[in-house]
Amino acid sequence: MAATTTSHPDRHLHPVATGPAAGVVAAHQAEQPLKLYSGWFCPFVQRVWSVLEEKQIPYQYIEVNPYDKPESLLKLNPRGLVPTLEYEGKPLFESSVIMELLEEAYPNHGRSLLPKDLYLRARMRIWSDFFATRVLPAYMRLLTCQPSQKDSHDDPAILEKRDEFLSHVKTFIKEMDPRGPFFMGAEPTMIDFSAAPWAMRAWALDYFKHGSGIPGKGQGGADEQLWERWRTWFAAIESKKSVSGLMSDREHYIPIYQRYANNTAQSELAKSLRAGRGVP
């Protein structure tokens, strides 16, 4: 039985994963003690989901619509948000917390996603926080920005938000290991999986806001070396099946991101940013 949230304006979304993600979902329908309550479209879900896949931790995938919250989800998480993880019969939420729990609770599944060196581990957390509190909100502010004039190609409001986004992305890139290809070096760590969902959705800025501003190869001008490092990182993270294999067909993302682009989305993230707050 669904909770009384059926009037939510964002509830009409494609109900299930498609594309490569559909195969991953189908492979994780069997009953498991570890249960991921998920929304196929959600980048915060993808953070957790990619760690589960990367470490090959057994789990059961349970699709829910967080805008039409079922009682099964609300019993675990009264806010009805995804991801929600049922671990040892108890609920956990907040994607960054769940990601680290999976590393700590399943140390023998796959390679560790935390640097062994404690200084490097702390540094990774600093820049994970930077991405979450600077890059991610700037991405969303650009996506939701409403142009002040009809032609938004060179609209001052769009240009301002794009410059803010690019400034934060460049700061993030400058802290990457120079050789890479991943943020901390030769192997992926938690920060890569934390940032990947938004990098994989940069196309939405091209589709709705005439571009993210991230230049193509050879078009970075004085910052070409910096942007080449971004391209190296993105190619490395995109090559991971635990990332690209969790994406659905783009056509089903478009109506969701259209509401963000129109600044009419009613998700907790959208409402928080519209009120001038950060990521909830």
Q: One of 42, 73, 173, 191 is an active-site residue; which one?
A: 42
The one-character DSSP state at 153 is: G
The backbone torsions φ and ψ at residue 68, rounded to the nearest 5 degrees and listed phi first, read -140, 65
CB 172 within 8 A of CB 131: yes
- Residues in Cβ contact with 193 at an 8 Å cutoff, skipping those fewer than 6 apart: 47, 50, 51, 54, 99, 113, 237, 242, 243
Cα distances (Å, whole numbers) of residue 29 to 39, 61, 89, 98, 155:
14, 6, 17, 20, 47
Per the CB < 8 A criterion, the answer to whether 237 and 188 are in contact is yes
Nearest to 262 by CA among 222, 180, 212, 207: 207
Place of tokens 């091209």: 206
Q: What are the residues whose beta carbons fall under 8 Å from the beta carbon of 136, sequence distance 6 or more? A: 198, 279
What number of other Cβ atoms are within 10 A of residue 20's Cβ? Answer: 14
Catalytic annotation on 42?
yes
**DSSP 8-state symbol, 13:** S
Peptide bond into 83 cis (omega under 30): yes
Please list the active-site residues. 42
